[in-house]
Amino acid sequence: MPETEALAMRIKAYRKQKSKNQFEMACDTGLSIEEISLIERGKTDPKLSTLQKLAAYMGVTVSTLLDTEQRTEEDQDGGQA
């Protein structure tokens, strides 16, 4: 999976984990709904300042958002469940 898509999925997952919609996230972070939508669909690479806002909002580090080494349990055990 390309890194932009993986980042998009992580950001969307963190937002949903907080039980927030894109409008609420936009209001809380000062970002536009359009920007959040583009990021979550993997249509744009967010600037560092945007990643910092999103990470702070979600209570994680920018490194966590960018972590391409995050794997599912299936990946970790070699596909043997």
pLDDT in tens, 13-65: 999 999 999 999 999 999 999 999 999 999 999 999 999 999 999 999 999 98
Token pair 């970790």 in the structure block, residue? 76
Res 3: pLDDT? 84
Question: How far is 81 from 70, CA to CA, in rounded Å?
Answer: 18
Residue reference for tokens 């927030």: 20
CB 61 within 8 A of CB 55: yes
Give residue 51's pLDDT.
96
Picking from 17, 77, 11, 75, the residue whose alpha carbon sits closest to that of residue 43 is 11
The band of 67, judged by pLDDT with boundaries at 50, 70 and 90, is confident
Instruction: State pLDDT tens for residues 36-48.
Output: 999 999 999 999 9
Residue of higher predicted confidence among 70 and 54 = 54
